[in-house]
């Protein structure tokens, strides 16, 4: 498969520099234009300011791209839902048909790993849907984390999902789940979920050590680093939960299922909360980008330091 890697990204990877992968579904399917373009541009700027290189991933005219120009970002933002929401299962079809794909978590992880990017930042990953024990509706994000050694920085999982079952599924997949500066798994719009995590990390350096060990042990699975939404942006959990329950009922009545349910739910919850959920979404994505970039820098420093040690020991 031919993958176009932006020169800046390729140069950073060559020198083992800090690189952060970013998805494109959030641009095309997560926010309206021009808010989506503004957010995408600001997120890339946050990554740069922290000392890392951003690599937004998408499929353009059948060709996977890792790292986009400002014009390509604008094309994604304006095209919006004209770009197909692309998970791992959809990659072959979109590429073969010369189509345009906005990559989800699973597809972004796949391409990031293909080119050697170890850190990926998103808003929230998918998971086991509520009533998933009956519908078998489980996001491919979880199985991707089980087989692709990329570290994903997210605000936990979307609160529209079944969080306890999602964590159980991640355990089954052998995924290391760590919460950043907390003992509780965050629930996207809110800092708390009532679910404890098996691992807590309190600095970018601690995160980097886990990612480095995961790679060197060849575990073959990913790492999920869950970062709580900043306190000042956390929407009221009760208000959000009430909106979620109402939206879930509407989705059930309208028979909305599969990968159509998440965009429907997010849009409906945004409407029911007067837009506060969208602002919270943007805030947590930016915060994740900062933390992810700091982890990428720490990982780069760790790897380069270990390389120097090995060089000295060989003398």
List active site positions: 23, 158
* Structure token digits, residue 32: 């309206």
* Structure token digits, residue 246: 């109402």
Q: Is 154 helix (H, G, I), strand (E, B) or coil?
A: strand
CA angle, residues 228, 229, 232, in degrees to nearest 5: 130
Spatial separation of the C-alpha atoms in residues 23 and 227, rounded to whole Å? 17
Spatial separation of the C-alpha atoms in residues 124 and 153, rounded to whole Å? 8
* Structure token digits, residue 96: 């073969």
Residues contacting residue 206 through CB under 8 Å, at least 6 positions apart: none
Distances in Å between the Cα of 226 and the Cα atoms of 23, 43, 172, 181 are: 17, 18, 18, 9
Kindly state the DSSP code that residue 183 receives in the 8-state scheme: S
Q: Which of 225, 307, 299 is nearest to 53 (CA)?
A: 299
Spatial separation of the C-alpha atoms in residues 195 and 206, rounded to whole Å? 22
What are the strands, taking DSSP E only, across 18-88? 19-22, 53-60, 63-66, 84-86
* Structure token digits, residue 267: 């849009």
Spatial separation of the C-alpha atoms in residues 252 and 255, rounded to whole Å? 5
Q: Is 100 helix (H, G, I), strand (E, B) or coil?
A: coil
Total Cβ atoms within 10 A of residue 214: 20
């Amino acid at each position: 498969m031919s993958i176009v890697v932006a020169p800046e990204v390729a140069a950073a990877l060559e020198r083992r520099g800090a690189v952060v992968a970013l998805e494109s579904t959030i641009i095309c399917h997560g926010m309206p234009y021009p808010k989506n373009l503004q957010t995408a541009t600001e997120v890339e700027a946050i990554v740069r300011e922290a000392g890392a290189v951003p690599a937004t991933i998408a499929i353009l005219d059948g060709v996977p791209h890792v790292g986009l120009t400002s014009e390509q970002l604008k094309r994604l933002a304006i095209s919006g839902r004209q770009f197909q929401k692309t998970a791992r299962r959809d990659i072959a079809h979109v590429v073969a048909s010369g189509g345009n794909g906005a990559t989800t978590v699973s597809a972004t992880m796949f391409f990031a790993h293909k080119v050697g990017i170890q850190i990926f930042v998103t808003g929230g990953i998918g998971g086991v849907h509520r009533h998933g024990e009956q519908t078998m509706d489980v996001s491919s994000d979880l199985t991707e984390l089980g087989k692709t050694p990329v570290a994903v920085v997210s605000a936990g999982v979307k609160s529209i999902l079944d969080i306890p079952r999602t964590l159980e599924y991640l355990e089954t997949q052998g995924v290391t789940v760590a919460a950043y500066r907390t003992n509780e798994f965050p629930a996207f719009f809110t800092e708390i979920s009532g679910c404890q995590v098996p691992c807590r990390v309190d600095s970018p350096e601690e995160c980097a050590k886990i990612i480095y060990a995961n790679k060197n042990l060849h575990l073959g699975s990913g790492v999920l680093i869950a970062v709580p939404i900043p306190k000042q942006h956390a929407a009221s959990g009760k208000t959000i939960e009430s909106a979620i329950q109402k939206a879930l009922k509407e989705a059930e009545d309208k028979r909305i299922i599969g990968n159509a349910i998440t965009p429907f739910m997010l849009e409906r919850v945004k409407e029911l909360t007067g837009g506060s959920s969208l602002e919270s979404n943007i805030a947590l994505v930016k915060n994740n980008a900062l933390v992810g970039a700091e982890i990428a820098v720490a990982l780069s420093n760790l790897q380069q330091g270990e390389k120097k040690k090995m060089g000295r020991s060989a003398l």
